[in-house]
Copies of this chain bind each other. A is one copy, B any other.
Amino acid sequence: MQADIICVGNELLTGLIENSNTGFLARRLWSLGIPVRESCVVADEENAIRTALERALEASELVILTGGLGPTDDDLTREAVAAILDLPLVENHQWLERLEGFFNERGIKMPESNRKQALFIEGSTLLENRRGTAPGLIVKKSGKLIVLLPGPPHELQVMFDEAVLPVLSKNNQGNLTKVKTLKVFGLGESLLEEKIKELGKWDLPAISYVARGYEVDLQIKGYGDPAAVNDSIERAENILRGLLGDYIFGSDDETLAGLVARLLIEHKMTLSLAESCSGGLLSDFVTDVPGSSKFYRGGIVAYSREAKEKLLGINSQLLDLEGEVSEATAKLMADGAREIFETDFGVGITGIAGPESDSSQNPVGLVYIAVSSNKGCECKKLKLIGGRRAVKERSSQFALDMLKKILEKHIDRADRSQ
């Protein structure tokens, strides 16, 4: 089974309203193992809806339409679907009473226009709307399933989860049995492809990947018999781990910040930060993890030279000599944070986020990251691409990746010495 999504609404075509329905439905369908073939947004015009629906029905067994179920003249989804399926629209008396009751309760006489919302396509199943006046509909015809949902996300989401999900789970013997995601960090898309191009040699389940900046999700998908799928996914995972080594930082829902948090909490260790070019974003990443107050003592955003001198105690002559953006400064920032907050680990980031370079003519994207611990201080030099926001994000991600690797080494060493 595959699906098409058709979102109806002029407001989506102007970009004034973000279309969150497509993403929501796609994620739900994907988790059911139903791939989306195509999604589209069309105007509130009967012809546009009909054309899109015909096209979708030709290719997919499941078509979900959103929007256009309201009471106004430009709500035309019901009409368009009925016409294409060649089914009449009939008034549902029970729903009409419900609608009238809905308005009575609020002390209003039902506007005549709302009567339209009691129309449903003959033979269809009506879906309750706990949050609005437009019911949804499910129509089955010639082996196809057509689902009509209201446009407002808070109505659509509840309706989908309560009324559509159970129907789809029953109808779909989801071939997709299991998905395992390996999370990769630090490899560009093309370098990653270089490394995994030999995968074709083995008989492996489907592997695909999605890149988000420097983070790539490698997805291994298993179809059919669960036992066989478990075996083949495990085999694929082992091969991928062999090819990619510690570029793989985690799996499934894990994030770099979440992993760092888990390691620190499990081993009762503490963290502090000293940020310059990342401007507080690394601290924001760390504190997005629930429970971060267990290990995170605090940070200093040393956005000025004075802050580096006064708060982090970095010598003024050294700043003159080495520069604010330098390995020496990054290390002293990391050491300084660790000392001031009395933590096991300290991280320092200094660099040029742009749009302009600094007085030393360092290029935008030059970043130094240092991690300090009782085993000394390590530093990495990066040349990042992208604008101000991208440099902030990437330097913060790189810092988490570096910290995670150093934490693992520490823990490993501690285990062996026991």
Contacts and interface: CB of A to CB of B under 8 A. Distances in A.
Given A131-B390, A189-B70, A355-B290, A18 B23 contact: yes
A16 interface: yes
B38 A42 contact: yes
Interface residues of A, number: 100
Contacts of A158: 387
A114 B190 contact: yes
A161 interface: no
A221 to B, nearest CB: 10
B41 A40 contact: yes
A132 interface: yes
Contacts of A287: 279-281, 301, 303, 353, 392
B279 A17 contact: no
A318 to B, nearest CB: 18
A293 interface: yes
Given A290-B355, A297-B303, A13 B39 contact: yes
Contacts of A114: 190
Contacts of A36: 13-15
B301 A280 contact: yes
Contacts of A17: 210, 212
A272 to B, nearest CB: 8
Given A14-B30, A299-B301, 9 more contacts: A10-B208, A14-B26, A15-B28, A55-B55, A70-B189, A71-B189, A280-B287, A283-B283, A293-B304
24 contacts: A14-B210, A15-B27, A16-B210, A17-B212, A37-B48, A106-B383, A111-B190, A111-B191, A113-B190, A113-B193, A113-B194, A114-B190, A132-B386, A280-B299, A283-B283, A284-B284, A284-B392, A287-B392, A288-B389, A292-B303, A298-B300, A298-B311, A299-B301, A300-B300
Interface of A: 10-20, 22-30, 35-43, 48, 52, 55, 70-73, 105-106, 111, 113-114, 131-132, 152, 154, 158, 189-191, 193-194, 208, 210-213, 217, 219, 273, 275, 279-284, 286-288, 290, 292-293, 296-304, 306-307, 310-311, 340-342, 353-356, 383, 385-390, 392
